[in-house]
Structure 1
């Protein structure tokens, strides 16, 4: 069973039809799903999976209790580092999902740096990630850090600066390679 990291932007409240179909294929193939607990794309995907009564789902959260767990699935708390705040509170759980995943599927609003970082985390270990870019109405698969760099260039300098401000030194090195 392959493990698929599902995620996306917090400002996405309606999944595109091709992403819904792809999630249906994941369910039909009985792959494992790793998903966060955030509002937006995570919750929309959780709702879809719950509608399928799908059981092979793990919900990752930064605290003891997830913000959203619409299918009453297994919960995997990943505590943030001491003193973490803002984005850093959730980065550890995202890194853990990327580490455990074999593939990714992200629904992106074209602006969210967290989604870009998750794509980069997967690309750094040569794990393909399908990205549904809602701002451009496009779909692409990122296979490498070179592909991820192209995605960031396409997103524009503001998004790239936000991503670079949040990435680890390993991420910076991977993009420069």
Structure 2
């Protein structure tokens, strides 16, 4: 069973039809799903999976309890390092999902630095990721850091700066290699 990291932008509250179809394919193939607990795309995808009564789902969360676990699935608490604040609270759980995944599927609003960074994390681990870019209404597959650079450069310098500000030193170093 392949493990698929599903994720996306917190500002997305309606999944694109091709992504819904792809998630249906994941369910039909009985792949494992690794998903976060954020509002937006994560919660929308959780709702879709719950509607299928799908069981092969693990919800990853940084706080004591998941913000969303719509299918009452197994929950995996990945606490942040002590003193972590802001977006970085959730970064370690995202890194853990990327490490456990064989593939990724991201629903991106074309601007969210967190989703873009998760695609990079998958690329650094040589895990292919299908991205549904709702802003540009296109689908792409990122398989390498070269693909990722093309994706982020197409989003513009502001997005790249925001992503770079969230990267760890190790992620910056790996990207430069």
- Which category of TM-score, normalised to the shorter sequence, fits these structures? over 0.9
CA–CA distance in structure 1, aligned partners of residues 124 and 168 of structure 2? 12
Deviation at 1:170, TM superposition (A): 2.3
List aligned pairs for 1:117-128, cutoff 5 A: 117-128=117-128
Residues 145 and 174, structure 1, Cα contact 8 Å, conserved in 2:
no
Match of 2:147 in 1: 147
Structure 1-normalised TM-score?
A: 0.99
Which range moves more in the overlay, 164-173 or 104-113? 164-173
Over residues 121-146 of structure 1, what are the superposed CA-to-partner deviations in whole Å (9 max), with x where a residue is unaligned?
00001000000000000000000011
Match of 1:89 in 2: 89
List aligned pairs for 1:31-42, cutoff 5 A: 31-42=31-42
Structure 2-normalised TM-score?
A: 0.99
Deviation at 1:175, TM superposition (A): 2.5
Which range moves more in the overlay, 167-176 or 10-19? 167-176
Stretches (4+) displaced over 3 A? none
- Partner of 2:104, secondary structure, is strand
Match of 1:8 in 2: 8
CA–CA distance in structure 2, aligned partners of residues 141 and 47 of structure 1? 24
CA–CA distance in structure 1, aligned partners of residues 98 and 70 of structure 2? 21
Residues 98 and 118, structure 1, Cα contact 8 Å, conserved in 2:
yes
Match of 1:164 in 2: 164
CA–CA distance in structure 1, aligned partners of residues 88 and 81 of structure 2? 8
User: Which residues of structure 1 form unaligned runs of 5+?
Assistant: none
CA–CA distance in structure 1, aligned partners of residues 137 and 38 of structure 2? 23
Number of aligned residue pairs: give it. Answer: 177
Residues 149 and 175, structure 1, Cα contact 8 Å, conserved in 2:
no
Residues 126 and 144, structure 1, Cα contact 8 Å, conserved in 2:
yes
Deviation at 1:25, TM superposition (A): 0.1
Match of 2:24 in 1: 24
Instruction: Quote the RMSD (CA, aligned, Å).
Output: 0.6
Residues 146 and 175, structure 1, Cα contact 8 Å, conserved in 2:
no
CA–CA distance in structure 2, aligned partners of residues 16 and 35 of structure 1? 17
